Structure 1
């Protein structure tokens, strides 16, 4: 039978609203039963856990109210409610396959721990601005039914010696206390090469702290994501700290069409000349394509139409290219 320590741990996790921990302990009990030859009991426990997971549907696995940043963390972490899942994001096939593997490992993390393994939880998203990195991070949180935290770099990085590392320690402590998805956007500000000519000693110390914190074990299996537009600027030591490096590219012709369709709904678009749209949208990011589609839908609505025309889209796609020319490549659209 289960020992008193396991029962107490289950009761505490239930009282704290940490259903994932509750189920993880239940699976540990199942594993102990199997090791002692009581396979029928083990299978019944595992089946009960799977039934409970299916029945909770999209219910958040961690109560957001418990994880809301307070005190010193309030200026370091932004808690955002995930609005979408991975199925709602346009992703290239190989990229989607990698993300699906991460989801499976996280969903079955307790099973992996039974075999003395841990799920992938440290991911680097690399790709050009607007290619969908931040959007995918949010969708990953939504897929896993976890709270989504964005690290506020303006609150993290200070000019006082040792303070940035101390704040970074607070963020990583939070990943251990509350399971969630934690995103370091514009990560090259933290993870830049230590041999860079414009580097200062304080940022080298910050990077060393980050490397150390990434190695620390955690029972919550929180996902730590880093996103960068400039992977070539990152320190080489980071390569072995991440479980996966996921590359984001500019949309293919098929993906251009899919992004635009997604953002035109629920408007109708029965006679779109997609070959012209692909040509006009080539070279634009997902974010730019989405904005062009949104603007085209607005034009149709203000013209008292429920149908978007090819001309509406071409005008807006051209406008996005014009914006790029005005900025002349000196400024980038956040992704």
Structure 2
């Protein structure tokens, strides 16, 4: 019961934190810790089961993660091949392939250690498993909470609908990924007007890259107007070069036009949670919603977002990875000295 109580306390802490601000990364960590505590509590209950049922339960508990890991590795490798075929061999496009191969490499190492008599190798692989386990926990926490965050619906009226830019095709044309964001933003605008609300400003945000003929904001505004959006409802923020600048410069425009504004920020679904964290950091008063993305692109895009978030919190993450490495090394050395 103590283990279940811990899971309940963590879940309450998650609920309180998410209610205060849904854009915090700590929400993802608390949700992940709740899942770990609950799983641990369930495993502890196996001891109270009859012998044969306890064995069956343990086999189930062990087989589901193992089979799931193999399935995840296979899926990532297949998706990586698709990404290379459709998007090219740039490093960001190889993330799902590398992640899948990494899963199979880790499985192979664990199997090899199981039949090996090398204490040094066993200690090294055990230490590596600790670090990989931590990174996997953070990743699953990130994905789980990002999925929940993506279910947020726009409630009530907003003053601005901010649409984040991305690269243009041919220097002046809106690509499908960006068109998805614009379409989502226009839907939010039209839905608010349809229910009798004041038309929100469609604030398109994106500067001009060195290889672009016009600013992303200009191309986005032209696309919206061509799709029927009233030109007087569209406003441009055309100075930003990064997502952080998207948020900061858009906030300046919104504060100047509507003090006490409320907004919604639109990006693609894989980017929504990380963009929400950036919006919070920039002091933007609004949540972030995600537009649909091609399915084959999602795994790699999600991994890219995770790598970025992990690196943004690198002081904590690298410190924990270092502590786990040191702990594993000390235990391995102590075991060798004992023998």
TM interval, short-chain normalised: under 0.3
Q: What is the TM-score of this pair, normalised by structure 1?
A: 0.23
Q: What is the TM-score of this pair, normalised by structure 2?
A: 0.23
